[in-house]
Structure 1
């Protein structure tokens, strides 16, 4: 089906129809990539199937992906300036046509949702309506220079050549120059914000603070003045950060649908359409390859193994574990603990029972804080059903708070027992001073949970702690206690 007419009478007027492209123009995304990521999210073990479909042509690929996935058109990132241009054309009595290379089933649902179009021209199972094929169909319907066209890509150059006026929206590299060379550009619309700011946000550079846990084994072993170990730790910190950023990018690409339904995550660069999915698909494997290549060349093979375990667990978390009750928070606690293990592997240091036990209980508590904050927001909005993309209901709040506080207090108990370990007595000159760290930690955990209960917690408690003045003071006093005990 290359053409369809919506349920309204076509508007005619003195001006020719306004024809609007979809991907990258009306929509700040690409539906082929959207459906591809949705398919991978739902069918991770069928990764190679889309390549098999592509062998039969791009039209077949688009059709199969559209039929195998569900895209919620209500929350897609539409370009408000293009919509305003369409509304102006409609108010002037012009007919408006959606002409896209995306599959007709998606295009028609979008047209129905926006209620702005008089007809739809789109790809079907046999024909990919792009470039010259779109141009030929538009010329067949409206004649040469019988329509104005809004587009953004190199595929639109041939369409603009047959149009009366060309409207260029957030053009790809080199597109504006080629379009202007044809002499009919009426307007260039730019809505893309700063790419540097968006990439900084997408890479989660602020989350690299978590990778400071890599330094924990060196600090626990009292090797902070060992310059060789410090250098190795900094290399491990950098490589782990690159790997983590790769994971964040992939996670955002897989979570597009869920993020767009979230009150704050919908503003993430990929979910909002400010960054292109195709750039994310290029960047995440590049970062991953760089991280593992550097690890293989510069650090012990054990670090590479831990880095691989981190990546596999994170991938499993993104694809499945995050939607499993209890398993998700345990996985998050493990991801924090793996950072400590990575630090030990990079420096060939022995991990202690106490460090691993403390880490698991502490970070399980913080993972439950994260879930509590999400569920509290859902309950505040009156939701009673299972939270989208998670395995919890808003009514689970009380149980989660009990489990989270208990886990945090267990971490304090581990710290107290650590004080009387023979290894601790041998390592510290005044181990009894470490008792002062226990009330500090009790205060901090209690405060974190009280603030979470009051709805004053950031989505990520670690980010909150880094920005919270009282948390920073408690952290400094905590370190001072261990320094005084050494």
Structure 2
């Protein structure tokens, strides 16, 4: 049982926190929160993301066997056969899609199906193309924000989408920057051949600037934040981005969103501070 849980990688569900980002702002704006619908959609999407991880493990089994860390994954190590992993993929995807599509929302269904299609394209080879890989990774995070909005029947604002997209690009670029700093084998991640440190540094600075500026504009123009408190959460966003940028440039450090979320106490405190600042600022 443990090996099957390891295959599904539920600890990676932390990435789905992007689904929750619109929640406090939307609820303060009067959106109706149907807890059952939201929980079902959230759990369904988590199962779909696990199915995607299993598919990646199946597709990358040969490369993973040559990787220092990934060779211990269930499929790469032989603990679970390819056929067994395919069966696990089918079960996770079927249940996840059943839960999400069963909600009966066309918007939710479209987001979920787009996410599955996007990751099929990524797994089938697009992840080996520089820039394309970053676009697809970032799109996955933005779709999570859309899903969070549609689960509570609200439309995302343009500034929220711009901020989310810029932050998503930042996370994806930071991961590639950390891969170069760690001298990851280009045979394992071919897209790295298309990147250079100077290019990624400039791209990271651009994405960080757009994310900060768009978040500031979003909060200032928000109708659900109290006057004089709109920018209370901005320092936490600035610290989080700058600290993540620092980690991406340190050889041996990790810029994986999952590792940072679980290992970095400062980032955990930053996230808590952001949440408290937002709650304090809401009308």
Structure 1 length as normaliser, TM-score?
0.55
**Structure 2: runs of 5 or more not aligned:** none
C-alpha displacement at 1:223, in angstroms? 5.3
How large is the RMSD of aligned CA atoms in angstroms?
2.2
Q: Which segment drifts farther, 434-443 or 340-349?
A: 434-443
What is the SS of the residue equivalent to 1:463? helix
1:429 counterpart = 2:226? yes
* Equivalent residue runs for 1:128-139 within 5 Å: none
Q: 1 or 2, which has the higher helix percentage?
A: 2
Tell me the equivalent position of 2:190.
Answer: 390
1:236 counterpart = 2:49? no
C-alpha displacement at 1:308, in angstroms? 0.5
* Equivalent residue runs for 1:385-424 within 5 Å: 386-393=186-193, 396-421=196-221, 424=222
d(CA) in 2 for partners of 1:433 and 1:374?
38
d(CA) in 1 for partners of 2:21 and 2:63?
34
Q: Which segment drifts farther, 410-419 or 437-446?
A: 437-446
1:467 counterpart = 2:263? yes
Q: 1 or 2, which has the higher strand percentage?
A: 1
Number of aligned residue pairs: 282
Tell me the equivalent position of 1:292.
Answer: 97
Using a 3 Å threshold, how does the CA distance of structure 1 residues 209 and 316 change in structure 2: closer, same or farther? same
Q: Deviations over 1:435-456 (max 9, x none)?
A: 2322322222222222221124
* Equivalent residue runs for 1:361-380 within 5 Å: 361-378=166-183
Tell me the equivalent position of 2:130.
Answer: 325
Using a 3 Å threshold, how does the CA distance of structure 1 residues 247 and 320 change in structure 2: closer, same or farther? same
Using a 3 Å threshold, how does the CA distance of structure 1 residues 199 and 482 change in structure 2: closer, same or farther? same
d(CA) in 1 for partners of 2:218 and 2:78?
49
Structure 2 length as normaliser, TM-score?
0.91
Using a 3 Å threshold, how does the CA distance of structure 1 residues 335 and 439 change in structure 2: closer, same or farther? same
d(CA) in 2 for partners of 1:377 and 1:326?
19
**Structure 1: runs of 5 or more not aligned:** 1-195
1:450 counterpart = 2:246? yes
Query: Structure 1 residue runs of 4+, over 6 Å off?
Result: 224-227
* Equivalent residue runs for 1:56-71 within 5 Å: none
Using a 3 Å threshold, how does the CA distance of structure 1 residues 466 and 408 change in structure 2: closer, same or farther? farther
* Equivalent residue runs for 1:20-31 within 5 Å: none
Q: Deviations over 1:22-65 (max 9, x none)?
A: xxxxxxxxxxxxxxxxxxxxxxxxxxxxxxxxxxxxxxxxxxxx
1:357 to 146, 151, 162: 162
What is the SS of the residue equivalent to 1:358? helix
